[in-house]
Amino acid sequence: MAKITKVVARQVFDSRGFPTIETEVFCRNISSKAICPSGASTGTYEAYEKRDKNNKKYLGKSVFKAVYFVNKIISKKILKKSVHNQELIDSILIKLDNTNQKTKLGANSILSVSMAVKKLSAKIKKIPLYKNFFIKKNFRLPFPLMNIINGGAHANNGLRIQEFMIRPDRAKTFSEAMNICYLVIQNLKKLIKDNNLSIAVGDEGGFAPMIKKNEEALNLIVKSIKKSGYMNGRDVSICLDVAANELYLKGKYSIHSNKYESVKNCISGYLKLIKKYKIKSIEDPFAENDWKAWSNFLKKVKNVQIVGDDLYVTNLQRLKKGFLNMSTNTILIKPNQIGTITETLEVIKFAQQIGFQTIISHRSGDSEDTFISDLAVGTNSTQIKTGSLCRSERVAKYNQLLRIEQYLPKKNNMAKLK
């Protein structure tokens, strides 16, 4: 049995330069490490991220307490356990914390351990990480949802919608998908420059030009898709993450402009955008508790992917509620929203059983850790959301998928989009 012999955590930094936790788990002289990511537009129901709020040196952002918990409390409980028994280890972590939202130990300390254990188990079995999830054969690659214009909480340009993404729907292979996105991004860059706007990028690597209107961003994307020789809505689709929690006030939303408007008006605004720009996917169109707005909207759209992120927070109970409420047809999966890999996999499996598509996602504060690339392939998730083709923490995930692709069939290796 491959027993855990040592667990060591440390404070490192994420892509925004904020402290985060890395944990290294050992089986004698073999080890694997994992870094926890961190969100900016977080949902209320997400698992708790432990930070030393009163540490002046790091403006309250350090994670020394989380590091201490791993080194002094968690490590003792999982020493001598089999590294291959992920469920047992995760259940120990959950019990040790024993709160609904992992407020005692912090989901960041717990997840860094859980991910490192999963990686180490693969390493000891001498298999690639993507083969250490529940899909065992016929692996497929996820479609990238590349966030090419950043707004909302990820930029300071005043754009209402947080993420303007592209998805290369007709790509036959992952390399082809990357090539298509690359061309659109390079053409977009040129177009933004030609408009005398800045090509500086936001937290997820997408451009963050000083434009205020959603439609201006959409027009730029449509033009760059065309300039690259592709047809919008056929070869390449535009997808949005509204992150509407951030745009909500007392039953109204400021999505389509600075003005707050009713759900009814928001829906008609969305329907216009869907029609005009052939939008294929909208994430978090409404706030996390506005269940009625979600089901009203889902009823009115056809062939559009409606994605729950802050709505579900990778939480099985919330997913079940959303399913009964007919809120969405797709779920975004972020392991640090729930805190362990076992719980993450449970949510993915349930979502797939009820016919939802699963999209594996990074966080806006991320790192060189590429765990989610393998997770996407190993769970047959149809899509991955990991920012633009820019900033190493984003590109690292795409590069890992390119490595995986080399071991899969050379033709038609993409997941089947619904």
Q: List the catalytic residues.
A: 204, 334
Minimum CB–partner distance for residue 282 and ligand PGA (Å):
12
Specify the residue, 267 or 307, whose C-beta has the smaller distance to Zn ion.
307
DSSP readout, 72-118? IIIHHHHTTSBTT-HHHHHHHHHHHH-STT-TTT-HHHHHHHHHHHH
For residue 374, the partner it binds in Zn ion, ligand PGA, none, with Cβ less than 5 to 8 A by kind, is none
**Window of 95-103, 110-118, 294-302, 357-365 that interacts with ligand PGA by CB under 6 A:** 357-365
Residue 219 contacts by C-beta under 8 Å, 6 or more apart in sequence? none
For residue 42, the partner it binds in ligand PGA, Zn ion, none, with Cβ less than 5 to 8 A by kind, is ligand PGA
**In 3D, which of 397, 410, 352, 415 has the Cα closest to residue 147?**
397
39 binds ligand PGA (CB under 6 A): yes
Q: How many residues make up the chain in this entry? A: 418
**Window of 18-26, 84-92, 358-366, 402-410 that interacts with ligand PGA by CB under 6 A:** 358-366
Q: Which residues of 142-153 are buried (b: 16+ CB within 10 A; e: fewer)?
A: bbbbbbbbbbbb
Minimum CB–partner distance for residue 41 and ligand PGA (Å):
4
Q: Which helix (H) or strand (E) holds 341?
A: helix 341-353
Specify the residue, 42 or 379, whose C-beta has the smaller distance to ligand PGA.
42
Sites for ligand PGA among residues 242-271 (CB under 6 A): 243
42 binds ligand PGA (CB under 6 A): yes
205 binds ligand PGA (CB under 6 A): no
Residue 386 contacts by C-beta under 8 Å, 6 or more apart in sequence? 144, 361, 362, 366, 372, 373, 394, 397, 398
Q: Under DSSP, is residue 291 helix (H, G, I), strand (E, B) or coil?
A: helix
Sites for Zn ion among residues 263-322 (CB under 5 A): 283, 309
Minimum CB–partner distance for residue 194 and ligand PGA (Å):
29
For residue 97, the partner it binds in Zn ion, ligand PGA, none, with Cβ less than 5 to 8 A by kind, is none
Minimum CB–partner distance for residue 237 and Zn ion (Å):
17
**Window of 24-32, 38-46, 124-132, 318-326 that interacts with ligand PGA by CB under 6 A:** 38-46
Using N-to-C axis directions, what is the helix angle for 341-353 and 107-125, rounded to 10°?
A: 80
Phi, psi of 56 (to 5 degrees): -70, -30
CA distance 163 to 45: 21
DSSP readout, 217-245? HHHHHHHHHHHTT--BTTTBEEEEE--GG
CA distance 204 to 164: 11
CA distance 93 to 184: 44
CA 260-265-271 angle, 5° bins: 125
Strands (E) located in 14-79: 19-27, 30-35
41 binds ligand PGA (CB under 6 A): yes
**Window of 35-43, 67-75, 175-183, 403-411 that interacts with ligand PGA by CB under 6 A:** 35-43
Specify the residue, 178 or 307, whose C-beta has the smaller distance to ligand PGA.
307
For residue 22, the partner it binds in Zn ion, ligand PGA, none, with Cβ less than 5 to 8 A by kind, is none
Sites for Zn ion among residues 232-251 (CB under 5 A): 241
Sites for ligand PGA among residues 291-320 (CB under 6 A): 309
Binding site for ligand PGA (CB under 6 A): 39-42, 241, 243, 309, 361, 363-364
Binding site for Zn ion (CB under 5 A): 241, 283, 309
